[in-house]
Amino acid sequence: MGSSKSSVFILVLHLLAGALSESLIRLNNNGYEGIVIAIDPNVPEDETLIQQIKDMVTQASPYLFEATEKRFYFKSVAILIPENWKTKPEYVKPKLETYKNADILVAEPNSPGNDGPYTEQWGNCGEKGERIYFTPDFVAGKKLPQYGPQGRAFVHEWAHLRWGVFNEYNTDQKFYLSNRRIKPVICSAGITGETARPSCQGGSCITRPCKRDKVTGLYEKGCEFIPGRDQMEKASIMFSQSIGSVVEFCTKKNHNKEAPNEQNQKCNLRSTWEVIQGSEDFKKTAPMTAEPPKPTFSLLQIGQRVVCLVLDKSGSMAAGDRLNRLNQAGKLFLLQTVEQGSWVGMVTFDRAAYVKSQLIQINSGTERDMLTRSLPTVASGGTSICSGLRSAFTVIKKKYPTDGSEIVLLTDGEDNTISTCLNDVKQSGAIIHTVALGPSAAKELEELSKMTGGLQTYASDQAQNNGLIDAFGALSSGNKAVSQRSIQLESKGLTLQSSQWMNGTVIVDSTVGKDTLFLVTWTTAPPQILLWDPSGKKQDGFVVDKQTKMAYLQIPGIAKVGTWKYSLQASSQTLTLTVTSRASSATLPPVTVTSKMDKDTGKFPHPMVVYAKIHQGDLPILRAKVTALIESVNGKTVTLELLDNGAGADATKNDGIYSRYFTTYDTNGRYSVKVWALGGVNMASQRVTPQQSGAMYIPGWIENGEVKWNPPRPEVNEDNLQGNQVYFSRAASGGSFVASEVPQAPIPDLFPPCKITDLKAKIQGDNLINLTWTAPGDDYDHGRADKYIIGISTDILDLRDKFNDSLQVNTTDLIPKEANSEEVFVFKPENIPLTNGTDLFIAIQAVDKVNLKSEISNVAQVSLFIPPETPSETPYPAITVNSTIPGIHVFKIVWKWLGELHIYQ
């Protein structure tokens, strides 16, 4: 086999400079193209929804154009229509567009009435979001009083998705103190309104004045800031786009830097417009001089899954038991992973390609067995990846267009001719998933995945890590309903010595159980296999395939809920156990785990971030134990506990996204990622918090001096969600990434502590300040920092911009704890006179043992409030009026506080 020349690889990178990322969005001049809006398969068929989506985008485009100073607009959108909807002549087959890479998903909420739009943001400030979520009722305009026009809300969510900005309101803290005054958390400060508190019982509400807490100086819980309908202020869209006058983002000039909101906390007090100006989109565009055209739409309907396996059988596949392991993984894919009704073909290749099976539709076990018999059993010859790909295109074209079809390409070899078929790959419209096996697989594989939107995975020769089976197990359809997808419950391996046992348990929870498969593999001789269901009944009937060195048991019907126990005994060989299943019901969402890295490539000394999303439908699963196993090309493995604590790599606390920094590079080349998750009654969520990155739910409006309340935002009733607090286990592939510029050992310490992002401050007795935060580490969020520097100032911008010149607190007695521990520090400010109404701003910097410093933390604020000896306010009684909202009675507010008018200019 020829070696891969560096000049060829550089040529490939040049040809793929425009390679597509997971999202297909492109900015062409000033217009966004390739936006994918998908209608979830569980949404009941309703053609009007398609037109409503078009109307929303058409309404949003000019609003976006004006809000970005004539810089951006929506140019083209693809709408993905479910396979189970009626076909129409105008519906065409997708190419690279899938549910997996959709930018916006229109789906029914888990909890009826919870229709708030929101955006998943896994990263920090300035990093693109994952996906926008709308409900059919929202798109249909049924939530106008609460969220405003759909197009405006879309622009709010687009800013989250595309530019990584955050909300300028705060649902948890709606007011703050500044210079002795209570101010609402708004942006800009020019938004006018009043404060009020609804007191509701039955079908009526009494509007009450807000009372001031005598200890904190803030309003009591339940108090709301009610904006007026008639405004003059143009900013800001990230506060409330539903206000009619709001057509701009907050800028450096009008941004409210003191407001305790996510935008200030995560973006270092920068306005949303400043963050947008720093984006790549902004840097490569200029304002338009003409009005933009209206968006164009393509209607795409998902069809049957078409997939062709392209498998390497070259001579190097005989090494390290690779060919046999390929057979084991291939059988799992064919017997379990690929969905019923799919069309599957198979091609093998060495120096040439060989068609092992034309496309066959999988309707029963007969077709599955037929395909498994086509897997390669003899390894010989060279490596011609292009031959395999071209042959696969021919196989697919005999029955279907290659647009939107899938190819699973596995190889362990180098091939310096890949560049000759890149154009064929681009023209095919096929999605290529790549599996790199062993340390010498062609470096260009990842580029094939990137340019076609496929999944990239890597499996080492360490059989006990089960990497190859994990890679094939991750290849469930991106377009099928989640209830049809294969879900991996367990993936473990162990190298046993003489007569040792591999013992363990697998949890089958109430959300899964259909098509449950237990798969055991070995490297030398069949082991003893013992399996018991939750009732203690021993399970027999494993199908033993001695040639492929595997045995499997398909549980009929729905597997029993509970803990299944297994014991495997063997001598001096490696065993693996894989357990997969499907959703137990089409109506009960299964618990799912989705894992990925923040980038496809890691360049030392920049850290990577591991993410795992654990959800049941649209509800996050909290307090799970989540572990990532990261294996380098030389076989070294690193285990990371992923956290959902809102610190370090984790952007938002309790959102079901678990994260951690990876810094322990040991070599250049590929790294594979696998995630295990375990949840239970004591770990699961006790309370589901609203999504953070979404348009604000307006509690009410002031019209002609009257408060008109919207109905209270629906609370998620977990008791109505079956299986919410399930005891579950999951295993999921996180794909792979490639590391570069890693120095030879010993690897130098170039990683500073991570930024502290959750600093909070409050006043306690005798003018003491209590600080709390999550401890960073020596290397980002690992280990222990060496010391802290705490700076204080009465000027928020001076503290941010001139931190080293700020007044520093004595931290001699403050010894940092282990990373991710809670830190508490109480001190009394010195050299700053504290009087009633003093506003104090505080920030922290962590320093490691080699004097590397973290970024400055978020800025926390405290305001000294000395309670009055006697009540300082006497509200007038409320006066009642009628409401225009059915079922809700509203009362007019007529009151003022002595010495303070609660309308903010």
> Listing from the earlier edge strand, what are the strands of the sheet with 543-545?
487-496, 573-583, 512-522, 550-554, 543-545
284 burial class (0-12, 13-18, 19+ CB within 10 angstroms)? Answer: exposed
H or E segment at 322?
helix 322-332
- In angstroms, the CA 510 to CA 508 distance is 7
DSSP string, 363-375: -SHHHHHHHHTTS
List of E strands, 20-174: 26-28, 31-33, 35-39, 73-74, 76-81, 104-106, 118-120, 131-134
Q: Residue 746, preceding bond cis, omega within 30 degrees?
A: yes
157 is catalytic: yes
- If you write DSSP's letter for every residue of 208-244 in order, what string do you get? EPPPBPTTTSSBPTT-EEEEBSS----B-HHHHTTST
Distance between CA atoms of residues 618 and 689, nearest Å: 12
Distance CA 701, CA 196 (A): 11
* Whether residue 535 has a cis bond before it, omega within 30° of 0: no
DSSP for 715-729 reads PP-GGGSTTTT--EE
Helix axes 47-67, 150-163, angle to 10 degrees: 70
3-state secondary structure of 67: helix
Provide the 10 A C-beta neighbour count for residue 720: 10
Between CA 473 and CA 488 the distance in angstroms is 7
Strand partners, 616: 591, 619
Q: Is 688 exposed, middle or buried (0-12, 13-18, 19+ CB in 10 A)?
A: buried
Q: Is residue 311 within 8 Å of residue 290, measured between CB atoms? A: no
Q: Which amino acid appears at position 271 of this protein?
A: S
Residue pair 40/133 in contact by the 8 Å Cβ criterion? no
Tokens of 776: 């960073």
Task: Supply the DSSP symbol for 482.
Answer: G
DSSP state for residue 145 in the 8-state scheme: H
**Set 97, 120, 130, 157: catalytic member:** 157
- Residue 574's SS3 state is strand
The catalytic residue positions are 157
